[in-house]
Amino acid sequence: MLELDGAARYRYFIKRVADRESAWSLRDRAGWVSVGAVDGAPLLPLWPAREYAELHRHGWEGTVAAAIALGDLFVLLADLEANGLGVSVFPTPALAAVHVSAQRLADDLRSECEEWY
């Protein structure tokens, strides 16, 4: 999965999160971690499974990989969108990721869920 291009990883992320009804990120005592986009804006990194999130813990000592239930993810994405923050979807150890708006990710997840449920 990590060798796939960003578009393929994004599609995989959408399908897996909709199927498993959860996404993964890293958190510490202060809350969810963020990464900076090229323009410096903070982004919430999200992965489709724990093992991918765990690959990034080495850069954030004191963090743990934590699941975000799908319903909670929709709430979190709405909060991010309201605050003008985006999402870094399925970053790899080489720091390749797909940066999208929180609204786009929410829309894509809803569309995938509606297709199957």
68-104 residue pLDDT tens: 999 999 999 999 999 999 999 998 877 678 999 999 9
Q: 56 pLDDT exceeds 90? A: no
Phi, psi of 52 (to 5 degrees): -75, -40
Distance CA 47, CA 23 (A): 6
Beta bridge partners of 64: 27
Task: Specify the CATH class of 6-116 in words.
Answer: alpha beta
pTM: 0.91
40-54 residue pLDDT tens: 778 999 999 999 999
73 sits in the region (left: phi over 0; alpha: psi -120 to 50; else beta) called alpha
